[in-house]
Amino acid sequence: MLTAITRDVSPAINNCELTFLDRVGIDVARAHQEHRAYERALEEFGARVISLPAEPSMPDSVFVEDVAIVLDEVAVLTNPGAESRRAESPSIAAALAPFREIRRIHDPGTIEGGDVMRIGKTLYVGLSSRTNLAGIAQLSGHIKPFGYDVLPVTVHGCLHLKSGICSLGGELLIANRQWVDLTPFAGFTILDVGPAEPSAANVLVFGNTILMPHGFPQTTSRIAARGRAIRHVDITELRKAEAGVTCSSLIF
């Protein structure tokens, strides 16, 4: 059975970290409604949702994906490149402890889960403003004994690797090639996001169904033409905090 760990929206989300977006006011009540609808969508796909309470002093804490990397054999707590986010780790560790052995990334290594895309036994890890080579090396050391390969990927112009590329299942990827070096993905089929939709590559896959935000009609049509069903969610307010649909859950 799928398990999804989530966390409610912090009332302080308007103080979130921003790197590539200008700050725009976030309607906290609406963001909370969006997040609850997102959790219901995960439940529709068969996930048992473990919803943690909001952290009033941690503006970005709804984005639980960045704080841990959960594999079949182990969970690795990250060391976020945004130092303001490191206080999020203890409660995520406590939530994961019943399910996985816990490993940790330490200084000088930094890594955030939004930079980690798993396809089979390979983890593609973005070299971004939040993730460095020391963090990638530590991650590799933790998971190579379980048979995983780790491949760095250069990211530019967006927050995380999965801001610019995600799997659509099988050998098909959705990508904004302006933001991600596609060299490590030789052998995959790349489906480009719509030309007016640079942020549309962040999606979640549940079998043949793709969960993606409202507001990307060009990319939706391109994905549907490849035989995928589409389930949309509204994350308009959360996107003001540089969010995508992968950010708000740890699914395993």
Q: pLDDT tens-digit profile of 174-208? A: 999 999 999 999 999 999 999 999 999 999 999 99
pLDDT in tens, 110-147: 999 999 999 999 999 999 999 999 999 999 999 999 99
Overall fold of domain 3-251: L-arginine/glycine Amidinotransferase; Chain A (3.75.10)
Which letter does DSSP use for residue 47 in this model?
A: P
Domain segments of the chain: what residues? 3-251
Residue percentage of the chain with pLDDT more than 70: 100
pLDDT given for residue 187 in this prediction: 94
| 101 and 76 Cβ atoms separated by less than 8 Å | no
| 45 and 38 Cβ atoms separated by less than 8 Å | no
Which residues are the active-site residues?
160, 247
